[in-house]
A and B are shown apart, each in its own frame.
Chain A
Amino acid sequence: MLEIRDLSCLRGDRLLFADLDLSVLPGERVRLLGPNGVGKTTLLRCLCGLIDPEEGEIHWNGHSIRSEREDFHRQLLYIGHSTALNDLLTPLENLRFTCRAGTDQVEEQACVEALERIGLGAQIDLPCRALSQGQRRRVGLARLFLGGERRLWILDEPFNALDVAAVADLASSLDAHCAAGGIVVLTTHQDVSFSHPGRVVDLAGHAC
């Protein structure tokens, strides 16, 4: 369970939002809404522990994410704006590296299968600089198929640059993760059809 209490975030000198309270139960999907610049990405990075909030606390399963950082990060899968791909490495090498750096024990074969499933079977041995924007996005998202152990998925605009079929496939993966008791927190500006609507949090209501 993810709990946010009285959260306020600064970006530069500006207070983005204040007094945000939210608790997310296992199996829930939360979509953050709000115009550009309202602080969606900042909130997501705050939830990951990449940014320290100005005020307030974030708890995961009853423990502060700062004091129990290692346990929390074992449960967390974050896919941000940037794809975290090195141009000189192939999609397979990139994916394997991201998994191993996050201490996921994954076999090479599982990485290959994840990339084939997301539609990059033919590009496995190409350097990432040869991939299109949408394909790069997919390499990052392939991690979702290997992160089944991780309960909390935090996704920043995961549907960006994806084609229609990939969007539908990703939506069903998110549904499956929630059905298995996981939590998804995401932002998106696209209308995506999920099997159930999920919760929507409008950050504009907390903006300063």
Chain B
Amino acid sequence: MLGPFIAVLRRDLLLAWRGRADVLVTIGFFVVVACLFPFGVGAEPNQLREIAPGILWVDALLATLLSLHRLFAQDHADGSLEQLLLSPEPTVLWVSAKVLAYWLTTSLPLVIAAPGLGLLFDMEQGSLKVLCLSLLLGTPMLSLLGAVGAALTLGLRGGGMLLALLVLPLFVPVLIFGAGAVDAYLGGSGSDAHLLLLAGGSLAALVLAPWACAAALRIAAE
């Protein structure tokens, strides 16, 4: 039953390793965009400290978006997608494996890089911890929702822009609760509610998104 899941996960992780330049570009983008903000809004430490969670969250969202179109594009172009659709096991299985591999190779490095960038904005220890936790719980939802968008725009001309238009509005709730978690922590009301909502959203996306993705991929392969 898990054969295709493991096969796809192993292959995608291997491919990410072989094409690690792509992963590095995403992290580089994440770092560079965060570094641009002090130039734009001025290097006033209190102000930067205050807007840091929002900046890092928007940044993570854009970095995710940057690499999202790659998720199914190669498999669609070389015909692997057809072979996967002809697998006897349910499509949602291997779609989940692809999204998991994507999250491990794109979002997880962002979560790991975030504390370093947080220090750049002089965030204090406690809020850094909350920020990382919120990214850890929220990015799976970004990957899952993004995967649906990537599957829907697969093979379309100008698919990249359409993908951005399609998924950015869906990312708004994640952004609100993600960045809000740190504000709530600093405001003294505790970040638990925000983090639980992010985790709940990710779980709901985990249940629903692979089905939507599978349906969209079947249409794209026609």
Contacts and interface: CB of A to CB of B under 8 A. Distances in A.
A80 B88 contact: no
Given A84-B78, A93-B14, A100 B19 contact: no
Contact of B15 (A78, A82, A88): A88
Nearest to B1: A103
Contacts of A48: 86
Given A89-B15, A100-B3, A101-B4, A73 B86 contact: yes
A74 B85 contact: no
Contacts of A84: 78-80, 82-83
Contacts of B75: 86
A50 B85 contact: yes
Interface string A35-59: 0000000000000111110000000
Contacts of A82: 77-79, 82
Contacts of B88: 69-71, 73-74, 102-103
A73 B87 contact: yes
B93 to A, nearest CB: 10
Contact of B78 (A70, A74, A76, A83): A83
Given A88-B19, A89-B15, A93-B14, A101 B82 contact: no
A141 to B, nearest CB: 14
Nearest to B81: A84
A199 interface: no
B212 to A, nearest CB: 18
A189 B78 CA distance: 23
Given A76-B86, A93-B14, A51 B79 contact: no
Nearest to A100: B7
B157 interface: no
A97 B11 contact: yes
Contacts of B77: 82
A208 to B, nearest CB: 19
A69 B218 CA distance: 14
For the residues of A in contact with B, the DSSP-based class is: loop
A100 B4 contact: yes
Contact of B82 (A50, A71, A74): A50
B192 interface: no
Nearest to A77: B86
A82 B94 CA distance: 20
Interface string B187-201: 000000000000000
A103 B89 contact: yes
Contact of B79 (A49, A70, A80): A80
A85 interface: yes
Contact of A86 (B7, B80, B82, B85): B80
A15 to B, nearest CB: 16
Interface string B135-172: 00000000000000000000000000000000000000
Contact of B7 (A52, A80, A83, A101): A101
Contact of A101 (B78, B94, B222): B94
Interface in B26-61: none
B176 interface: no
A103 B14 contact: no
Interface of B: 3-4, 6-8, 11, 14-15, 18-19, 74-75, 77-80, 82-89, 94, 221-222
The 6 A-B residue pairs whose C-beta atoms are closest, nearest first, are A82-B79, A100-B7, A84-B79, A88-B18, A73-B88, A74-B88
Interface of A: 48-52, 69-71, 73-74, 76, 78, 80-89, 93, 97-98, 100-103
